[in-house]
Chains A and B, each alone.
Chain A
Amino acid sequence: MSVLVYTENWDGKFKKLSFELVSYASGVAKMLGTDVTAVSIGKVEDTELKKLGNYGAKRILSVDNDKLITLDSQAYTSVISEIAQTENSRVIIISNNNTGKSIAPRLSVRLKAGVGSGVSKLPLNLIPFTVYKRTYSGNAYAHVVIKTDVKIITLAQNSFDVIDAPGNAVIEKVNVNIDGSLIKTVVKDVQKQSGKILLTDADIVVSGGRGMKSPDNWPALVELASLLGAATACSRPVSDEGWRSHDEHTGQTGKIIAPNLYIALGISGATQHLAGISSSKYIVAINTDKDAPIFEAAQYGIVGDAMKVLPKLVAAVKELKK
């Protein structure tokens, strides 16, 4: 009877996301008076696996099977559900990212376990088991009771602090038998961009809207971002106009992000835009219109022309770095 957490690695390395998941799982396990077992799928060295122990995992089940190189939702579901059954897990924790979204719902049906998705706090209550979840694109939060014995929680990214809990985890290699004919997803091509800070991973995001006026004004924004180690983003009209690439668009119909700091330049703050960024810890608004709705969401604001403010910010960050 443990809390099971599915951790994701990228080319054998864990990102903050996985440590966040394990930290969260530890919190849940503490509430339930049990331990955390982490599952890792893929080729991950023991030294890397051990790191999960620093966030409270007691056991780490490592599944390394060539058939699992491609994310196939059915194969992954089979592996995780078998482990969950063997372990008699009561709560299963998965990220609410793309991978999690493809596994959690299948697992729910396989195990007949209710799902609380996009959860951003520890359970509010154990009996009945109640989770806190984002609804209405961030305009409301719901307390959701999960009625089944086994519960699945998908954790909203960057919603829970990583908590160091140094400990020694036991690593166990788990052999799984995978019938190759069950794997239905065939990858024909992979197109990766490298060297860019991923928007969904970034701690700091610098974002521009239509108020940036023209793509010619972006170099200063990009410079500020690179000085801060930030990812760049934009509002929908900006990507629609082709000023910036589509994968930068944040909001209800774009990426939903929750960085520690979101700097919005020339963005009005329409509800559809806020739906993608309102979970950011700090929002900074820079806008010529003092009545722009973005200021209601922001903790720091500058009423002014983005093109005049940007060089000042760049200079200040350079000064700071000296």
Chain B
Amino acid sequence: MKILVCISNVPDTTTKIKFDEGNASIDTAGIQWVINPWDELSLTRALELKDDAANGVKSVTVVHVGPASAEPTIRKALAIGADDAIRVNAESSDSWFVAAQIAEVAKKEQFDIIMCGIESSDYNGSVVGGMISEFLGIPSVSAVSGIKIENGQPVITREIDGGKEIVTVPIPFVVVVQKGIAKEPRIAAMRGIMMARSKPVKLMEPAAVEPLTQIVVFEKPSPRAACKYIDADNAGQLIELLQNEAKVI
């Protein structure tokens, strides 16, 4: 069994987002780039599955669609434990473009399980995983909080309103993962970092695909009204304000 983990390269989650002049792009100066938190967890889960020989997972490959500047993030994924990596050498212009590229990679290399995060912390699209599965015409399961392999078949937990469902789908398939998929992201040990240097990163040129959407301008969230303080000794007054002023209770 071969697993492909899609990783997105995003600003560290504490980054203060600033825009370039014209507000059409993000000012990348000084940004610390990291593996998208969900992707870090799905990579962790993929490696856990591989650790148990009974699961029959032969390899865990990571794929990223992005320019060379994303190499450190890819190396980090290798240091955490991925066996090899593929980078599609292109700006990730929109979700459709990214998904189409990953689908092309998957057609060439044949993976049994493709893992994506529920959302990238930069674009918040929540679509790339589902799009890949449709490009490939294979099943997809979304809102996945757990995956196991039993007798060569996947046992997938997905979140539904007010509960969970345990489902299975035939291989190959895409899972779109969320909270619960792994407890803590696995961190790279010194040995992993050393080994990552010699692991292969395959470079692929992008297929000709036209993006369907385009960001034209960014804006900051509208500023909120300043906080109104209520004296702690008179805390009950808050309830009155919520009822009569904010009208929310």
Judge: A and B partners, yes or no.
yes
Number of interface residues of A (CB under 8 A): 98
Which of B142, B163, B211 is A191 in contact with, Cβ under 8 Å? B163
Closest to A236 in B: B179
Asked if A191 contacts B164 (CB within 8 A), the reply is yes
Would you give the 0/1 interface string for B213-244, flagging 1 where the beta carbon is closer than 8 Å to chain A? 11111111100110111111001111111110
Q: How many A-B residue pairs have CB under 8 A?
A: 274
A196 and B163 alpha carbons, distance in the complex (Å): 11
- Interchain CA distance A31-B141 in the complex, whole Å: 35
Chain B contact surface mostly: mixed
Interface pair A140/B126, CB less than 8 Å apart: no
Q: What is the minimal beta-carbon distance from B238 to any residue of chain A, in angstroms?
A: 6
List residues of chain B with CB within 8 A of the CB of A315. 236
> Pick the contact of B214 from A77, A105, A145 — CB < 8 Å?
A145
Beta-carbon contacts of A117-152 to B below 8 Å, as 1s and 0s? 110000000000010011111111111111110000
Most buried by A among B124, B155, B241: B124
Q: Is the CB of B13 within 8 A of A275?
A: yes
A35-64, CB under 8 A of B: which get 1 and which 0? 000000000000000000000000000000
A-contact bits for B103-126, CB 8 A (1 contact / 0 none): 000000000000000100111111
- Across the interface, do A316 and B236 meet the contact criterion of CB distance under 8 Å? yes
Q: Does B194 lie at the interface of the complex (its beta carbon under 8 Å from any beta carbon of A)?
A: no
Please determine whether A261 and B13 come into contact, CB atoms closer than 8 angstroms. Answer: no
Indicate whether B134 reaches chain A with its CB closer than 8 angstroms.
yes
Q: Is the CB of A188 within 8 A of B235?
A: no
A319 CB contacts on chain B under 8 angstroms? 236
| One of A104, A148, A189 near B130 (C-beta < 8 A) | A104
CB-nearest residue of chain B relative to A101?
B126
In the complex, the answer to whether A105 meets B131 with C-beta atoms within 8 Å is yes
Q: Which residues of A contact B164 (CB under 8 A)?
A: 190-191
Could you list 30 A-B pairs, sorted by A, with CB under 8 Å? A98-B160, A101-B126, A101-B142, A106-B140, A109-B96, A109-B131, A117-B124, A133-B124, A140-B219, A140-B221, A141-B220, A143-B217, A145-B213, A147-B213, A187-B167, A189-B165, A190-B163, A191-B166, A246-B180, A249-B179, A253-B38, A272-B13, A296-B227, A300-B228, A300-B229, A300-B241, A301-B230, A303-B229, A305-B232, A316-B239
Known: A98-B143, A145-B213, A301-B230. 4 other contacts (CB 8 A): A196-B162, A249-B179, A313-B239, A316-B239
